[in-house]
């Protein structure tokens, strides 16, 4: 940091003394920061627009815009956005925003912190912000590098200390403010962003000198412990508090075996939707108890919403192959038709169950063509010279999602030309198509093209005896309709679906339904159409970053979850079929509806970026067991005993297990022998053979 007074500065000590003399109600032993004021750039609790509460002002209309990037720092107020602008849009030295915190203590000294999220890696790496036009305040800092990318990650983001602010002796009601300007872009490319997010002003107290700690998950009503992170090596106590509606109340403490880093504290009485925070004690001084904390979930595996993200590509298959063209920025939710705060609003709701669930998303419905269209001349005057020739095309149709679907123009059923030198009528017939609600018949009279139509309902024949019934509607599109809704979510265009039938399964998406969790989910047998392309059987149990990255990997959504649990690992604990599945663990850091998660396939080993054909549905098998359900590990196969008598090999074992074999240790696949009970007797041929037992 630049131009910041250190905690040992005489000025800082003198200001603290002044603050305590001016506010007699403060206690030197207080554990609670008596006043904390937050100033956010974006509106609260949601919205992309500039905050208009009087504490934040943008000094140039339309200069800054809203972005869904926002810090999840401990205690930061609920919101869904911050404000940004490309560095190229600023003039060095010209004030950008005005910060006017409503501070209650006249002549009070406040510690000033700033936080933002840079997990998208598109923000400034070298910009220096200057502070100018200070009215009613005294500041210990005149510039800062706190807006640089390095201070905005990882999630939850840290609070970066800027310095000290001394309030005007006149007290509340005075128009006090300071303004920020871009002093230096450094070596940054001009396309990078400057983010303006959240400031914190904390009245200076002794407890603030003890570093803060954080609470992470799993955190639910059925969990008897709380994990506290960031504990110092010289801490002598860790204390946990809960606010369930009447302020922070102590629910647990640890005074022995306190270690640096993470500490597990036994607690009692965790309440769903309460907030939990913690402090540490160093050299006899306990840290301040935060006013807010980490949300308590209702317990493992409440309901959760589910969608799939598809990324556009020019690759054309096959299903499951890793895409080579990853350049497109266009991403689509499949299984949702609307977004809010970047999240898929109407995604499928998954309810916990002791059984594996099948979720099918996407695909198209179509209807086949008819065949053998024929016309028979009958007496009549429908057609007469000089237009004494006629042919028809037949398009079967049905209705899906309030839209009519027609058969394809490729291979459309078309009759031979029916003609006569005299006036005539026609009886038309064609093959019925199962599932067709009706048929659109297009007519070509006298060779002028198929310019007229009529709809035939409930039958596969038509008596063409009235020339007056034909109309001009020859529309036979679309030829298919999506079975699931989709929407392009990342760039605000009106496009509702990918440009081609092929796309990349970019991520599985989970979204908060009503509860923070924690979640313990198993994924298996991912299928596109009739092709199962991911079973997690080709790598050993314990493998991470295969098929899918950890929940925190995506910078877009990492700010929505706690730092722990955070797992995407192949496991043999349970499987839909075979031996393995993918175990996913995470917990939301709140219950705001904008919280969602991208479990992305990017850079996920040999199974990364799998291709799917969107004309066919994508099916995923999921196991989300209810609260309190314990998944028992599979029984371990016993050792195989063997004996050899001549050329007769006998294998023996206890219990019921599938016997499998292969001809070489280098073979990737084991083959079921078809036997699950001992003994197994076979003839030795002289060729090598390897056997193993697997749980049925």
DSSP code per residue over 195-250: EE-EEEEEE--GGGGSPP-EEES--BTT--EEEEEEE-TTEEEEEEEEESSSSEEE
Dihedral angle, C-alpha 100, 104, 105, 106, nearest 10 ° = 60
Most confident of the ranges 223-232, 491-500, 586-595, 639-648:
223-232
Tokens representing 215 are 């609470």
Cβ atoms within 10 Å of 76's Cβ, excluding its own: 19
* Residue 95 confidence (pLDDT): 94
Cβ atoms within 10 Å of 477's Cβ, excluding its own: 10
* Residue 488 confidence (pLDDT): 61
**CA-based Rg of the chain, rounded to a whole angstrom?**
34
Asked if 356 and 621 touch (Cβ cutoff 8 Å), the reply is: yes
What's the rounded Cα separation, in Å, for the pair 145 and 162? 9
Length of the chain: 696
What is the per-residue DSSP string for 90-101? --TTSEEEEE--
Statement: residue 462 has pLDDT above 90:
yes
* Residue 464 confidence (pLDDT): 93
Please, which residues bridge with residue 407 across strands?
Answer: none
What's the rounded Cα separation, in Å, for the pair 567 and 570? 10
Most confident of the ranges 135-149, 349-363, 458-472, 629-643:
135-149
For the chain, give the mean pLDDT: 87
Asked if 642 and 652 touch (Cβ cutoff 8 Å), the reply is: yes
137 or 15, greater pLDDT: 137
Statement: residue 408 has pLDDT above 70:
yes
What does the pLDDT average to over 620-632?
83
Statement: residue 23 has pLDDT above 50:
no
What does the pLDDT average to over 529-555?
93
Proportion of the chain above pLDDT 90, given as a percent: 56
114 or 209, greater pLDDT: 114
pLDDT digits over 280-323, tens only? 999 999 999 998 899 999 888 889 999 999 999 999 989 999 99
What's the rounded Cα separation, in Å, for the pair 521 and 401? 32
pLDDT band (50, 70, 90) for residue 394:
very high
Name the DSSP class of 633: P
Tokens representing 30 are 């207080």
- Residue 99, Cα to own-chain centre: how many angstroms? 33
* Residue 8 confidence (pLDDT): 30
pLDDT digits over 235-259, tens only? 999 999 999 998 999 999 999 999 9
| CA angle, residues 13, 14, 15, in degrees to nearest 5 | 90
* Residue 386 confidence (pLDDT): 81
Helices and strands per DSSP (H, E), number in the chain? 1, 53
Cα within 13 Å of Cα(317), Cβ side:
12
What's the rounded Cα separation, in Å, for the pair 280 and 265? 12
pLDDT digits over 85-109, tens only? 988 888 889 999 999 999 988 889 9
* Residue 11 confidence (pLDDT): 35
Nearest to 228 by CA among 243, 245, 211: 211
What does the pLDDT average to over 146-171?
90
* Residue 344 confidence (pLDDT): 87
Proportion of the chain above pLDDT 70, given as a percent: 90
pLDDT digits over 471-520, tens only? 878 887 766 656 666 666 565 444 556 677 899 999 999 999 989 999 99
* Residue 484 confidence (pLDDT): 62
pLDDT digits over 437-454, tens only? 999 999 999 888 999 999
Buried b (16+ CB within 10 A) or exposed e, 260-282: eeebebebeebebbbbbbbbbbb
What does the pLDDT average to over 422-440?
94
Dihedral angle, C-alpha 578, 582, 587, 588, nearest 10 ° = -110
- Residue 492, Cα to own-chain centre: how many angstroms? 17
Phi, psi torsion values for 19, nearest 5 degrees: -60, -40
Phi, psi torsion values for 482, nearest 5 degrees: -65, 135
Dihedral angle, C-alpha 133, 138, 142, 145, nearest 10 ° = -110
Q: Which residues contact 592 (CB under 8 A, 6 or more apart)?
A: 45, 46, 78, 80, 341, 512
Tokens representing 555 are 């910078």
What's the rounded Cα separation, in Å, for the pair 610 and 201? 48
Please, which residues bridge with residue 235 across strands?
Answer: 282
pLDDT band (50, 70, 90) for residue 590:
confident
3-class state of residue 13 by DSSP: helix
3-class state of residue 455 by DSSP: strand
Statement: residue 175 has pLDDT above 90:
no
* Residue 324 confidence (pLDDT): 93
pLDDT digits over 323-347, tens only? 999 888 888 888 888 888 788 888 8
Residue whose tokens read 């599932």: 435
Buried b (16+ CB within 10 A) or exposed e, 436-471: bebbbbbbbbeeeebebbbebeeebebebeebeebe
pLDDT digits over 183-227, tens only? 988 777 667 899 999 999 999 988 989 999 999 999 999 889 999
What's the rounded Cα separation, in Å, for the pair 344 and 675? 47
- Residue 601, Cα to own-chain centre: how many angstroms? 12
Phi, psi torsion values for 584, nearest 5 degrees: -115, 125
Asked if 580 and 536 touch (Cβ cutoff 8 Å), the reply is: yes
* Residue 173 confidence (pLDDT): 56
* Residue 27 confidence (pLDDT): 34
Asked if 576 and 527 touch (Cβ cutoff 8 Å), the reply is: no
* Residue 253 confidence (pLDDT): 97
Asked if 290 and 214 touch (Cβ cutoff 8 Å), the reply is: no
What's the rounded Cα separation, in Å, for the pair 296 and 219? 5
Is the pTM value of this prediction over 0.85? Answer: no
């Amino acid at each position: 940091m630049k131009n910041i007074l250190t905690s040992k500065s005489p000025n800082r000590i003198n200001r603290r003394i002044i603050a305590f003399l001016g506010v007699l109600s403060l206690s030197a032993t207080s554990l609670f920061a008596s006043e904390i004021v937050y100033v956010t750039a974006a509106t609260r609790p949601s919205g992309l627009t500039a905050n208009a509460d009087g504490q934040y002002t943008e000094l140039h209309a339309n200069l800054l815009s809203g972005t869904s990037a926002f810090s999840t720092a401990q205690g930061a107020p609920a919101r869904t956005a911050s404000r940004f602008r490309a560095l190229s849009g600023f003039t060095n030295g010209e004030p950008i925003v005005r910060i006017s915190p409503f501070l209650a203590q006249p002549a009070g000294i406040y510690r000033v912190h700033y936080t933002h999220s840079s997990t998208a890696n598109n923000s400034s790496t070298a910009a220096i912000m200057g502070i100018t036009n200070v009215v009613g305040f005294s500041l210990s800092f005149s510039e800062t590098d706190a807006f640089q990318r390095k201070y905005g990650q990882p999630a939850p983001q840290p609070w970066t200390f800027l310095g000290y602010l001394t309030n005007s002796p006149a007290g509340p009601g005075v128009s006090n403010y300071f303004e920020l300007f871009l002093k230096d872009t450094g070596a940054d490319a001009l396309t990078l962003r400057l983010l303006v997010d959240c400031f914190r002003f904390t009245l200076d107290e002794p407890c603030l000198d003890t570093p803060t700690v954080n609470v992470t998950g799993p955190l639910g009503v059925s969990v008897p412990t709380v994990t506290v992170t960031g504990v110092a090596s010289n801490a002598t106590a860790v204390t946990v508090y809960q606010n369930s509606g009447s302020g922070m109340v102590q629910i647990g403490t640890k005074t022995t075996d306190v270690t640096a880093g993470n500490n597990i504290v036994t607690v009692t009485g965790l309440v769903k939707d309460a907030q939990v925070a913690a402090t540490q004690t160093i050299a006899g001084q306990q840290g301040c108890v935060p006013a807010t904390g980490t949300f308590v979930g209702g317990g493992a595996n409440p309901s959760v919403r589910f969608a799939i993200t598809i990324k556009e590509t020019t690759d054309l298959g096959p299903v499951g192959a890793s895409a080579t063209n990853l350049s497109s920025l266009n991403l689509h939710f499949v299984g949702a038709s609307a977004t809010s705060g970047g999240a898929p609003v109407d995604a499928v709701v998954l309810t916990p169950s002791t059984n594996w669930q099948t979720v099918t998303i996407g695909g198209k419905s179509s209807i086949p063509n008819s065949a053998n269209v024929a016309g028979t001349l009958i007496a009549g005057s429908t057609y007469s010279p000089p237009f004494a020739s006629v042919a028809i095309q037949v398009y079967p149709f049905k209705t899906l999602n309030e839209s009519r679907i027609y058969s394809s123009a490729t291979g459309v059923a078309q009759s031979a030309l029916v003609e006569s030198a005299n006036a005539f009528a026609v009886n038309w017939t064609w093959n019925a198509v199962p599932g067709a609600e009706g048929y659109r018949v297009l007519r070509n009279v006298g060779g002028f093209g198929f310019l007229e139509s009529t709809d035939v309902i409930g039958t596969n024949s038509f008596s063409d005896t009235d020339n007056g019934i034909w109309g001009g509607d020859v529309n036979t599109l679309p030829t298919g309709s999506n079975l699931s809704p989709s929407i392009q979510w990342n760039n605000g265009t009106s496009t509702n679906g990918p440009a081609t039938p092929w796309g990349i399964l970019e991520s599985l998406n989970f979204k908060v339904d009503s509860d923070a969790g924690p979640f313990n989910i198993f994924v298996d047998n991912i299928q596109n159409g009739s092709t199962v392309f991911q079973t997690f059987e080709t790598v050993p149990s314990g493998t991470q970053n295969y098929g899918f990255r950890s929940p925190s990997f995506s910078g877009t959504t990492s700010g929505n979850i706690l730092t722990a649990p955070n797992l995407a690992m192949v496991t043999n604990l349970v499987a839909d079929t075979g031996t393995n599945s993918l175990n996913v663990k995470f917990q939301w850091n709140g219950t705001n509806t904008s919280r969602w998660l991208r479990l992305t396939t990017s850079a996920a080993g040999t199974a990364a970026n799998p291709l799917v054909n969107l004309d066919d549905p994508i099916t995923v098998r999921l196991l989300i067991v209810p609260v309190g359900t314990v998944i028992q590990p599979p029984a371990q196969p016993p050792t195989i005993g063997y004996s050899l008598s001549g050329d007769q090999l006998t294998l023996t074992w206890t219990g019921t297990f599938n016997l499998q074999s292969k001809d070489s240790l280098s073979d990737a696949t084991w083959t079921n022998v078809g036997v699950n009970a001992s003994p197994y007797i076979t003839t030795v041929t002289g060729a090598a053979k390897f056997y193993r037992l697997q749980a049925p």
